Amino acid sequence: MKKQFESGFYQKLNTFADWVLRITVINIMIILTSLPVVTIYPALLAGYKLYHKYLNKEEVPMIKSYFKFFTENFGKKMQIGLVLAFALILGFVNVTIYQDFLQTNPNPFNVIGQYVMIIMVLSVVFVSMFTLPLMITYPNTDTWLLIKFAFFLSGKYVIKTVLAVLIMLIPFLMLLHPITIFIFLFAGLSTPVCLYALLFKKVVTFVEGLDKENV
């Protein structure tokens, strides 16, 4: 009985240590490959796919697999990342412009315009998150079709969408205090990505199931 307890305890301890190592190493790799800024999306997607493998009990080599996932379909990932970034920046700029308009001329048209832009920004955020499970299942899908499908999934899985937005706040909250900034260097990006891989497991299953239905 005691030996079984010790065996189970050490097994859980070993599993915990493995995940701490994964989170730390993957976080460092995401940060390093995100340094050019424009490669943030491919870096996050590589980490997401790696976590997806681990959560499905696929023991793949960490560093080698990360860079393999980072470079595969790189052009497509860059295209999607830049489109989403452009839409997000455009939305934020327009929200700022409408805020200035409202200070000088608070008419209904400017109020409506501001709300439209806020909805646009939120839509881009929702789409960005749901492109992750889509890109690891159908990476060669037409960009516009993939974005539309991601928007559909954000509506289908409303609760997951809300949770995903809350998870997105983790890195920003870590940057608010010197102690958590230090933690950010070791887990600030990989932790949210890992949580996304866990949160979107059923989404991946649903998307894969659609292909089987059409066979």
> What pLDDT does 8 receive?
66
> What pLDDT does 16 receive?
85
> What pLDDT does 133 receive?
95
> What pLDDT does 165 receive?
94
pLDDT for residue 203 is more than 90 = yes
pLDDT for residue 36 is more than 50 = yes
Q: Which band of pLDDT confidence, cut at 50, 70 and 90, is reported for residue 212?
A: low
> What pLDDT does 43 receive?
96
CA-to-CA separations, 175 to 16, 166, 171, 184, 189, in angstroms, rounded? 25, 15, 7, 7, 11
Three-point CA angle 140, 145, 150, nearest 5°? 95
- Which tokens sit at 74? 């790189």
52 Cβ partners below 8 Å, 6+ apart?
A: 136, 197, 201, 204
**CB neighbours (10 Å) of residue 10?**
10
> What pLDDT does 147 receive?
93
pLDDT for residue 214 is more than 50 = no
